Chain A
Amino acid sequence: MYRSHILVCGGTGCHSNNSSAIFDEFQSQLVANGLEKDVQVVRTGCFGLCAVGPVVIVYPEGAFYSQIKVEDVKEIVEEHLVKGRLVSRLLYKEKSDEQVVKALSNTKFYKKQTRVALRNCGVINPENIDEYIAYDGYEALIKVLTSMKPQEVIDTIKASGLRGRGGAGFSTGMKWQFAKNSVSDIKYVCCNADEGDPGAFMDRSILEGDPHAVIEAMTIAGYAIGAHKGYIYVRAEYPIAVKRCQIAMEQAREYGLLGKNILGTGFDFDIEIRLGAGAFVCGEETALMTSIEGNRGEPRPRPPFPAVHGLFYESTILNNVETYANIPQIIIKGVDWFTSMGTEKSKGTKVFALGGKINNTGLVEVPMGTTLREVVYDIGGGIPDGKKFKAAQTGGPSGGCIPVQHLDVPIDYNNLIEIGSMMGSGGLIVMDEDNCMVDIAKFFLQFTVDESCGKCAPCRIGNKRLLELLNKVTEGNATMEDLDKMEKLCYYIKENSLCGLGQTAPNPVLSTIKYFRDEYEAHIKEKRCPAGVCKSLLSYTIIADKCKGCTLCARNCPVGAISGKVKEPHVIDNAKCVKCGVCMSKCKFNAIEKK
């Protein structure tokens, strides 16, 4: 019987910060202190607060240690576990007031969150099926297989109002109903874990932290629509997620929760993993299925929809990881519980991956209808260095920007579309006053141009032309006619592209033109980048009055663009300058200005 549990985060964020070595060190320190039988070390999935990783939590006290190094482990074991004194130096401190917070549940970061899809992440050992079972794991599957008819399962999911968490927000229950109604010899259940949005990592964290939830939900889906085979399509770049899924599937098979005659009920279902090579377009459902079939990942026209002709031309349902993670809870806790969270048309919670200019980079899960302000300021801890919020990008390359005037809009599927963005899979990138919105649009469009599969002309050629126009803007060569042309081209691409990738690719451009037209105009009319990002429009000059002639800038300039005599004001030759900004960061007298 263990009297204490040490939870070490083994998510990708903390893992890349050496949490594996910390885990090993805990084990050897426990042995050194003779505590290995009293204290259990558990490697868990992501806790969510990646910004302060590696993260360690010690129960029963719930002490939340952040930014732990291997050298700190000895102290935690000797002080906390042997003598029972918390190591306050290592406890997580909230940046805003520097108060030491002892328990994780007391942090502002966690207080406003409601964890449904992430409920087990950072709590259980994802490589131990018994721990999942302890947290009501496979209870839903048992309930479904022993006491519910397939149609009852679908009715429950329909009544819950659950909508696809992958981006489009289609009703999950309806999707299942279509597949159930479809007449087909073989049916398939697929899981879309091809998370490709820059800055999004919630699906990865769920697979890493709670793989059994996805396996259980897929089995339930199989029972509901009459399928016996499932595929998890996950990117090869997620090695930890892949490994934990494999372990989870093996354990589930061993317990008879996957495979033939599940739990003796006569129902057969098994899952295979398919690794994606990382093409963004493979997150699109028809391209994903084409890829599973072994072909080059290219989309195909819909209809026919996957529910009718999907994988191997058979009836198929495809849901996102986060969607699946909600299913077992809906079955156990019921429709009323689920619909009590969220807004009228968007029920439940949504996971967001917070990134960009924000203090608490990490994963958060909030009820639908929470405002962006609460997410950014209360949970996310605000913008670093006291800078001003400019916009948040949601939905990745398919979404748009939410400017400051919409900070108080309750986040749900419909509201986000109304203000020109979309829920997307849940990437939320915060931008401050130092970000140029034209540059942001260019970044996302560059991404989609690179990732366009090339099958249809509007996406392949249209987005390329759009990017060229954007480049013209950032180089100061565009005219106001170009801006109109860009808008027209955007609508053309949206209307004529074959799949979701092309249909949404112009969104970042459209939404930045809509909300930050003044920035575009400054680039075009005044040849000026207001945020000071677009290099072609920048020039560095030395203010003669402030320059002491210390020569530091000239010595550090990589291209020899600065000249001047000692103790005399220096000059920058703009023809040679590559606008790297080194001179400005080196100058001790603030004598260099950027315009």
Chain B
Amino acid sequence: MKSIAEIKAIREKMQSQIILRENSEEGETRLVVGMATCGISAGARPVFNTLVDEVAKRNLSKVKVTRAGCLGMCKLEPIVEVFVPGQEKVTYIQVDSEKAKRIISEHIVNGNVVNDYLITSEV
């Protein structure tokens, strides 16, 4: 038998998993990872998984991690694009798991764009 506290714990644990099934709503931040062949071979999958884990760990309810196809800049993959409502799109390039963690903690949580990984106009 479970106690009421245990039932509530199950709810909290499960909610981070089912958040994926919510249909997109207003005011939602989206992290889009390029997951075409180019992205995957450059290591997009661990990046994606890191983003998902980091978002879940912090219980960020209005943040959704999703995939996109090839963004056209295959040599800069893995690419992560961040769409925060009301702000300009931010494109991070050559992301790896470590960079993904910084993107979540600095950009998504604290609102500071991580300038080190940005795409530049020279590219």
- What residues of B have a CB within 8 angstroms of the CB of A593 in the complex? none
Q: Is B99 located at the chain interface by the 8 A CB criterion?
A: no
Q: Is B37 among interface residues, defined by CB-CB distance under 8 A?
A: yes
Check A134 against B23 for contact (C-beta < 8 Å): no
List B contacts of A130 (CB < 8 A).
Answer: 10, 13-14
A residues near B92, Cβ cutoff 8 Å: none
A60 within 8 A of B: yes
Task: Tell me, in angstroms, the Cα distance from A105 to B17 when the chains sit together.
Answer: 20
A135 within 8 A of B: yes
A134 to B10 alpha-carbon distance, docked (Å): 7
Chain B residue nearest to A105 (CB atoms) is B23
- Set of chain A residues within 8 Å of B65, measured between Cβ atoms: 3, 60
Stretch from B66-74, B80-88, B100-108 that touches the partner: B66-74
Asked if A7 contacts B21 (CB within 8 A), the reply is yes
CB of A513, distance to nearest CB on chain B (Å): 47
A496 to B17 alpha-carbon distance, docked (Å): 57
Would you call B20 and A2 a contact (CB within 8 A)? yes
Contacts of A104 in B (CB 8 A): 23
Query: How far is the CB of A357 from the nearest CB of chain B, in Å?
Result: 31
Query: Is A256 among interface residues, defined by CB-CB distance under 8 A?
Result: yes
A134 is contacted by which of B1, B18, B36 (Cβ under 8 Å)? B18
Question: Does A21 sit within 8 A of B, measured CB to CB?
Answer: no
B123 an interface residue at 8 Å Cβ cutoff? no
In the assembled complex, how far is the CB of residue A28 from the closest CB belonging to chain B, in whole angstroms?
20
Q: What B residues does A61 contact at CB under 8 A? A: 66-67
- Contact (Cβ within 8 A) B2 A5: no
A4 within 8 A of B: yes
A134 close to B14 (CB less than 8 A): yes
User: Would A133 and B14 be within 8 Å (CB), given that A84-B68, A264-B3 are in contact?
Assistant: yes
Contact string against A for B residues 12-41, beta-carbon threshold 8 Å, 1 for contact and 0 otherwise: 011101101101100000000111110110
A82 nearest in chain B by CB position: B40
Q: How many Å lie between the Cα of A83 and that of B41 in the bound state?
A: 11
**A41: Cβ under 8 A from any B Cβ:** no
A136 is an interface residue with CB less than 8 A from chain B? yes
> Which residue of the partner chain A has the closest CB to B52?
A3
A264 touching B14, Cβ below 8 Å = no
A60 near B11: Cβ-Cβ < 8 Å = no
C-alpha spacing A61/B66, complex, angstroms: 7
Closest to A3 in B: B52
Contact partners of B21 in chain A: CB under 8 A: 5, 7, 59-60, 123
Q: Which residues of A contact B33 (CB under 8 A)?
A: 84
B7 touches A255 (CB 8 A): yes
Expressed in whole angstroms, the minimum distance between the Cβ of A554 and any Cβ of chain B is 59
Contact status A142-B35, CB under 8 Å: no
Asked if A24 is at the interface of the complex by the 8 Å CB criterion, the answer is no
Given A1-B49, A62-B24, A142-B4, do A134 and B15 touch, yes or no (CB 8 Å)?
A: yes
Is A146 an interface residue, CB under 8 A from the partner? Answer: yes
Q: Which residues of B lie under 8 Å from residue A60 when comparing CB positions? A: 20-21, 64-66
B114 cross-chain contacts in A, Cβ below 8 A: none
**Cα–Cα, bound, A446→B40 (Å):** 63
Bound CA–CA A103/B17 (angstroms) = 20
Nearest CB in chain A to that of B44: its residue: A84
Minimum distance in angstroms from A208 CB to a CB of chain B:
18
In the bound assembly, the distance between CA atoms of A257 and B10 in angstroms comes to: 14
User: Do B52 and A134 have beta carbons less than 8 Å apart?
Assistant: no
State how many angstroms separate the Cβ of A329 from the closest Cβ of chain B: 16
| Alpha-carbon distance between A261 and B33 when the two chains are bound, in angstroms | 49
A138 at the interface (CB under 8 A from B): yes
The distance in angstroms between the C-alpha atoms of A177 and B24, with both chains bound, is: 42
Tell whether A335 is near chain B: CB-to-CB under 8 Å: no
Which chain A residues (1-40) contact chain B, with CB distance < 8 Å? 1-5, 7, 38
Q: In the assembled complex, how far is the CB of residue B24 from the closest CB belonging to chain A, in whole angstroms?
A: 7
With A84-B36, A84-B68 given, is the CB distance from A1 to B17 under 8 Å?
A: yes
In the complex, B60 has a CB within 8 A of chain A? no
B56 within 8 Å of A (CB atoms): yes
Nearest chain A residue, comparing its CB with the CB of B1? A256
A-B pairs with lowest CB-CB distance, top 3? A256-B1, A134-B14, A84-B67
Can you pick out 24 interface pairs between chain A and chain B where the beta carbons lie within 8 Å of each other?
A1-B53, A2-B17, A3-B49, A5-B20, A5-B21, A61-B66, A83-B36, A83-B37, A83-B40, A84-B35, A84-B39, A84-B69, A85-B36, A104-B23, A133-B7, A133-B10, A134-B10, A134-B11, A139-B11, A142-B4, A256-B1, A257-B2, A263-B2, A264-B1
| 14 extra interface residue pairs, beta carbon distance < 8 Å, beyond A61-B67, A256-B1 | A3-B49, A5-B21, A38-B45, A84-B35, A130-B10, A133-B7, A133-B14, A134-B14, A134-B15, A134-B17, A139-B11, A263-B1, A263-B7, A264-B1
